[in-house]
Amino acid sequence: MKETLKILVIDDDEVDRMAVRLALMKAGVYMDLCEVSNGNHAFSALQNTNFDCVFLDDRLPDQDSFTLFHKLRSSEIKVPLVILTTQGNEQNAVELLQAGATDYLIKENLKSENLAKILRNAIRLYRAEIKADLVYQQLKESHEQLINKNEELKKQQQQIQLQNLKLLEASRLKSQFLATISHELRTPMNAIIGFSQILLRPKFGQLSNQQADMVERILNNGKHLLMLLNEVLDFSKLETGRLELKPEIFDLGKIVNNTVTEIRSLAEAKKLALRVEIDLENSLTFNDPIRVRQILINLLSNAVKFTDNGSICLEIREITKNRLAITIQDTGIGISPQDFQHIFEAFRQVDQGISRKYPGTGLGLAIINSLVQMMGGEIFLESQLGVGSVFKIELPRQITLLTNTNNGNSYHLNLGSDDGVYSSHQNLPYLPYQAQKISLGYPYLKL
């Protein structure tokens, strides 16, 4: 079924209008044809009806074609416009084409095939322009939506940045508060511990068994509380970057044996076997002995805490000449694989309940992790629920010091000499070690 086209012919000459009508009919165009003789009637018809094509004479009696054309454009009336002109007056038609008309046709060459071809092309071009305008409008609206969305995202980003600043400030204040309160509480705790120890000395008077038991409880609880305060203080210093390593040369074997002696009583109280294996050709190392001892105490204490029966084994050995491994293996409760990636997070404990079985701040492993990174080492974890855990720490025998840029001097330390005696070019100042990135994975975890 062919489309019926609405066509308007604007011409003051009735013969010319008839010629257009006959040519369209001969071309077999299905149409609803409207004819007017002047510009005013044409404008009124175009206001009330949507035409598929308009044939406009370039010379009208009441107003020229340019006036009607611009009047239509100013009224936003869009329609395919074919200019009808006479031989020799093509200039008017060309100017109308430049102004936006679709095509023109010379009346003397008015043939049905030419008219039908121009009609089809005019309608096709007009509809293509309409589609293009629609796409452009959609793109414009999408662009405006994108601009609005971008503005919203900018506002959200600003809000997020502001929130981040607030969170950073809150974290800073929290760390500062933890450091301040921990430091302030250490003084009275040290006094409590000191006076408790004095009371237990015979020269200050003999206590009854009940009194001695109470003072010992005060002393033990005071030491435990001081240990917790020290953990919080160390963590706050690590978090703010104020904790510094103070490296020196020391005998790692002695540090290990002294630390195990302190922990052995805890293991014996739970009837746990505590074995130590030290396989070092050279036990000298350059590190912070206090922090190495802290790492050992935390790991051994955890092993004792989470092991109800069985044994704990501490092994120290050389991986290479310049790298050492500290391995602590227990037969405790073990760690679930889904907890591997969180076990070294601050304040994170497997049992998070208020009435949890195993007490503590949840900072021990987080502090160990940070200290090991500062020393340029790595932590490895293997564990199985109900079987036990293995914590392995690899450390350089000699932690790296940065070059002294103030005077251009560099420092060298040799701990691997044949006679076992260290040498240095000059006294070594403390320079902070740059922390390395960590990588996580499980069920075998490497930090």
**Which residues have a Cβ under 8 Å from the Cβ of 409 and sit 6 or more positions away?**
403, 426
CATH number of 168-237: 1.10.287
Give me the average pLDDT of each 10-residue run along the chain (447 residues). 84 90 89 90 90 88 78 86 86 84 86 87 87 89 92 92 87 72 77 86 81 86 77 71 86 93 89 93 92 91 91 94 93 84 66 49 79 91 90 91 43 42 34 32 38
- In order, the DSSP letters of 180-207 are HHHHHHHHHHHHHHHHHHHHTSGGG-PP
Residue spans per domain, the chain: 5-110, 168-237, 247-446
What pLDDT, on the 0 to 100 scale, is given for residue 362? Answer: 65
Which helix or strand (DSSP H or E) is residue 210 part of? helix 209-239
CATH number of 5-110: 3.40.50.2300
What pLDDT, on the 0 to 100 scale, is given for residue 348? Answer: 60
- The top-level CATH class assigned to 247-446 is alpha beta
423/417 Cα distance (integer angstroms) = 8
Angle between helices 90-99 and 65-74 (to 10 degrees): 10
**Which residues have a Cβ under 8 Å from the Cβ of 293 and sit 6 or more positions away?**
255, 258, 259
Burial class (CB in 10 A: 0-12, 13-18, 19+), 244: middle
129/261 Cα distance (integer angstroms) = 92
> Which tokens in the block code for residue 36?
């007017």
Token look-up 């003999």 returns: 206
What pLDDT, on the 0 to 100 scale, is given for residue 328? Answer: 93
Whether the bond into 202 is cis, omega within 30 of 0:
no
> pTM for the full model?
0.50
The phi, psi pair for 434, rounded to 5°, reads: -80, 125
Q: Which phi-psi region, left, alpha or beta, contains residue 376 (left: φ > 0; alpha: ψ -120 to 50)?
A: left
HSE-CB at 201 with a 13 A cutoff on CA atoms is 8
78/125 Cα distance (integer angstroms) = 12
